[in-house]
Amino acid sequence: MKEVVIKTEKLTKRFGDFIAANEITFDVYAGEIFGFLGANGAGKTTAMRMLCGLSTPSSGKATIAGFDVYKQAEKIKKNIGYMSQKFSLYEDLTITENIRFFAGIYGLPNKKIKEKTSMLIEQLGLQNEAGKLVGSLPPGWKQKLSFSVAILHDPKIVFLDEPTGGVDPVTRRQFWDLIYAASARNITIFVTTHYMDEAEYCNRISMMVDGVIKALDTPAHLKEQFGAASMDEVFFELARGAKRTAD
Amino acid sequence: MKQFITFIRKEFYHVFRDRKTLLLLFGLPIAQIILFGFALTNEIKNSKIVICDYARDNASQRIIEKLAVSTNFNIEKTILSHQEIEAAFKSGKIKLVIVFPAGFNEDILHFNKATVQVIADASDPNTATTLTNYISNIVSDYQKEITGLNPLPYQVVPETRMLYNPELKGATNFVPGVMALVLLLVCVLMTSASIVREKEKGTMEVLLVSPFNPLLVIISKAVPYFVLSLINLTIILLLSVFLLDMPFNGNLLLFFAESSLFIVTALSLGLLISNSTDSLQSAMLVSLLGMLIPTMLFTGFMFPIENMPMPLQVISNLVPSRWYYIIVKSIMIKGLGFAVIWKETLILLAMTVFLLLVSFKKFKIRLQ
Amino acid sequence: MKTLRFLLVKEFKQIFRNRSLLPVIFVMPVIQLLIMPLAANYEVKNINISIVDHDHSSYSQKLISKITASGYFKLAGYCDSYNQAFKQIENDQADLILEIPHDFEKKLVRENKQQLFIAINAINGTKAGLGGSYLAAIIAGFNNGIRIDWLQPQRFSQSPVIEVTASNWFNTFLYYPFFMVPGILVVLVTMVCTYMCSLNIVKEKEVGTIEQINVTPIKKYHFILGKLIPFWVIGIFVFSVGLFVVGRLVYGIVPVGNIPLLYAFLSLYLVALLGLGLLISTYSETQQQAMSVAFFFIMIFLLMSGLFTPVDSMPSWARTIAAFNPVTYFIEVMRMVVLKGSGFSDVKYQFLIITAFAIFFNTWAILNYKKTS
């Protein structure tokens, strides 16, 4: 039986009268690539923020890497990585400085930091750019760099919030290569996206519509279930009646 | 035309939705009027002083009585040694010591001459000189009192009339200054922030690429602040007239016309600043750090400009609020018309044109 | 603790890489410190006087030359009529008018008494009051001179003269910059630190990098210290340059008192003010909001601090407000320690208050700052 790294039970987030995420219940296994899909406004980001410890749930339960999301939020943060929609690297620091900073923040010892820095730069082929400010990099590089920095400290789970926005297909493909490599190292990938073709790359996906999980299975099973040829069609079937249209 | 109005409406939304900025826009001028009107003054009051009366005779008693009546002093009568005086000054407890030497009255009666010693804490030279002046005045009052018994021949008596502000109210001088200060700072700050913010977000490019004349885009950003400033000005005016009893002797229309000109000058300055920086942080810091104190000083309502060193007087000519201050005083308090302020108006006009020209030139260069 | 080191390295790098920010933090305060104390002065001189002389006698001429020789007044006009002179007042060419009536000298001899008419532009009440009393003093001196000329000294009893001799301690030459520079330095350091600290944190909020911080195991107090310490250092640096470079070289100010005492207070003061900046940033979503709130408070602090107008002269409700203003206390301490050499026992009350402010602002800010919303 595979290890469960994320377990949620009726997780809910309310903003006044508005229920952004409604009794979300699911499990995520170690090493899997779990796609968290949905249209804009479906509640994906809200759900993910709760799992990262950025937002306290209104009700329900959740455990991340074995830690309770209400009482042990800080312990969770030691064991996860995060990459937000805006990439969140410091634009006015160099590549090397960014890597060193985040490595240090996660408590890596100095020797390890040096090791990891040169390793990462080599892996991404950024040797010539190492001393340049991140702000001067094209978006594709920034994205790959952000991901690498997010898993620098070998977290159990890495959360990716719409990581491939605004990048060309080749870069997207390269990005997903990195994700596969991480998954092979038994890092669990929790990725939200509204690109339905990326759903095909995941081990399992869940589909959120209007704050509720409407489907949860492997891409193959879902296509069978809905008699659809692509995930796009599956999404269309599920989200047709959706009422919310913006995050 | 319709698009222009759409732009303006969008800007209005931005402004009114930001409550904290509204606090600054309207709260600050009101707070300043109240403070300047009621709390801030150049007079020296409630100063703690000590009187060392070695004489204890009629003359010293009489003078002390006069001092006690004045609201300028809080008096304590003790004898202090030299070290005690120094310690008291150092602890900030007293501001001044008056010493009446023994035999004070005797000296006056027999030698027609006596001395009162004043020891002042001159770390605050203004308080020291002012208090010393107050005391000298009281002493010379006493002099007149004892002289009055033998009136002098050939009296030359000055008859003084105070013009425009017979009660010597501080507000009369401050309020026009506050108007100038507030309008200048708020307009510059807000316009530059608004434009730079758009640049930073990148939405500026969207607007520039659209079929709308970029000029209209910029003007649309300035319009809400123009309107808000006029409202602000009206509030300040109403407060000063009804709360502070300030006079308004001039032509209301002229006042608003000149004020509109000044607001445009301020907005142009904001425009220039926004064209010169790319980061919102810098735009704001330049406006706040760079302009606050200089504007306060060079407008001329806190300290007289004519007493500043020559180079500073020249610099003060560059500060638009200085000219507006003169205009407001002339219209509001002196009740004069355009004939007197045409020079200042022309200067403001020239400044506006200059600022706008430089801004647009920079804008064009940027576009290329 | 290592975390803090990494945070500080990042913060300092970011601040010093910001090309447009550096001149604002370092150059602007210095320039203002050079200009402001020279501009802020209370002396009243160069008063423009317009004289309407209907008498044209030798004595009216004597009076006029006495006035112009006094150094307080500048002759703005020698007019034929009051109306002409009044126009000068309207134009701001003259501040006051002296009107000498027809046959002044003759009538003084005949009637033993004469009036001189003075009209003063009283919009600036202080200036008007001082100008009036200077003129009155000159006229009195002139009056006495007439008596001495026209009468034998024994034929009238001279009025007794009570002389007031003034000793000015700590600032013998009444050099205003001694008084203004410490205060202006305080205000400048206050502005730089509070604005910058609050803007800096809000910028991270706006850009989104703060989320990245919130999701890491960085502890709240690490993050806050990481934000406060760089600006604390900058504040101390700006203060030191201001006092020891500009203050000493340009104004000749040499602090008489205990310098470590001054720095101890400065350190506490900066903690308090940075706490305020932090607090403002926790309530602001955008830089413009942070700036608006910060500007509002700084302005009020500035006016109520006793920098330009004395706190003691304020009505009691205003003095209460001034008591809640941290700037008031630092300006007091600066003036006391730098100019008079006051010691710790003299300023321990201010120390206490500023410590209270530091604790209050920072605690509130820390409680407000949540990594998890």
The pLDDT of residue A63? 92
CATH 3.40.1710.10 intervals, chain C? 47-158
Look-up of token digits 């804009």: A40
In a domain, B244, yes or no: yes
Q: Residues of A near C (CB-CB distance < 8 A)?
A: 52-56, 73-74, 77-78, 80, 82, 84-86, 88-90, 92-93, 97, 100-102, 104-107, 133
Question: Using CB atoms within 10 A of its CB, is residue A140 exposed (0-12), middle (13-18) or buried (19+)?
Answer: middle
B334 and B232 in a common domain: yes
CA B335 – CA B343 distance, rounded (Å) = 17
Confidence tier at A87 by pLDDT (50, 70, 90): low
B261 and B124 in a common domain: no
Which of these three, B99, B114, B147, is where a domain ends? Answer: B147
B332 and B213 in a common domain: yes
**Mutation for testing the B interface, residue in C146, C291, C353 having most B CBs under 10 Å:** C291
CA C112 – CA C95 distance, rounded (Å) = 30
Give the three-class secondary structure for C267: helix
CA C12 – CA C159 distance, rounded (Å) = 72
The pLDDT of residue A247? 47
Q: How far from each other are the two terminal CA atoms of chain B, in whole angstroms?
A: 27
Ranking A30-39, A223-232, B3-12 by mean pLDDT, the lowest is B3-12
pLDDT along chain C (373 residues), means of 10: 88 86 84 87 84 89 91 90 92 92 87 90 87 88 82 64 87 87 92 88 84 86 90 94 92 91 95 94 87 89 90 90 94 92 90 95 89 70
The contacts of residue A216 (CB under 8 Å, 6+ apart) are A26, A204, A205, A206, A207
Residue range B76-117, pLDDT digits in tens: 888 888 888 888 898 888 999 999 998 898 888 888 888 999
B181 and B288 in a common domain: yes
Rounded to a whole number of angstroms, the distance from the CA of B299 to the nearest CA of chain C is 11
Whether the pLDDT of residue B315 is over 70: the answer is: yes
B112 and B52 in a common domain: yes
* H or E segment and range at residue B64: helix B58-69
The pLDDT of residue B352? 93
The pLDDT of residue A215? 86
CA A77 – CA A63 distance, rounded (Å) = 12
Q: How many CB pairs under 8 A join B and C?
A: 357
Contact B165 C292 (CB under 8 A): no
Q: What angle do CA B131, B137, B141 make, to 5 degrees?
A: 145
B247 and B336 in a common domain: yes
B350 and B232 in a common domain: yes
Q: DSSP assignment, residue C49?
A: E
Residue range B243-262, pLDDT digits in tens: 888 888 888 999 999 999 99
The pLDDT of residue C67? 92
Over residues A44-58, the mean pLDDT reads 88
B187 and B303 in a common domain: yes
What number is the ipTM of this complex?
Answer: 0.85
**Residue ranges making up the domain that contains B261:** 17-40+170-362
Chains in contact with A, counting 3 or more C-beta pairs less than 8 Å apart as contact: C
B285 and B202 in a common domain: yes
- Output the domain CATH number for residue B57: 3.40.1710.10
Percent of chain B at pLDDT > 90 equals 21
Concatenated DSSP letters of chain A: -PPEEEEEEEEEEEETTEEEEEEEEEEEETT-EEEEEE-TTSSHHHHHHHHHTSS--SEEEEEETTEETTT-HHHHHHTEEEE-TT----TTSBHHHHHHHHHHHTT--HHHHHHHHHHHHHHHT-GGGTTSBGGGS-HHHHHHHHHHHHTTT--SEEEEESTTTT--HHHHHHHHHHHHHHHHTT-EEEEEES-HHHHTTSSEEEEEETTEEEEEE-HHHHHHHHT-SSHHHHHHHHHTT------
In a domain, B158, yes or no: no
CA A120 – CA B284 distance, rounded (Å) = 39
Contact B282 C32 (CB under 8 A): no
Which of these three, B99, B132, B147, is where a domain ends? Answer: B147
Specify whether the CB–CB gap between A30 and A57 falls below 8 A. no
> How many structural domains is chain B composed of?
2
Residue range A138-169, pLDDT digits in tens: 888 888 888 999 999 999 999 998 888 777 88
Confidence tier at A244 by pLDDT (50, 70, 90): low
In a domain, B268, yes or no: yes
Q: Residue A195: how many CB atoms within 10 A of its CB?
A: 16
In a domain, B131, yes or no: yes
Per CB-CB distance under 8 Å, the chain A contacts of C369 are none
In a domain, B6, yes or no: no
**Mutation for testing the C interface, residue in A77, A105, A146, A153 having most C CBs under 10 Å:** A105
B231 and B93 in a common domain: no
CA distances from A168 to A138, A143, A236 (A): 11, 12, 24
Residue range B38-52, pLDDT digits in tens: 888 888 888 899 999
B112 and B210 in a common domain: no
Whether the pLDDT of residue A90 is over 90: the answer is: no
Whether the pLDDT of residue B280 is over 60: the answer is: yes
Q: Residue B333: how many CB atoms within 10 A of its CB?
A: 23
Over residues B328-335, the mean pLDDT reads 91
B228 and B357 in a common domain: yes
Q: For the domain covering C47-158, report its CATH number.
A: 3.40.1710.10
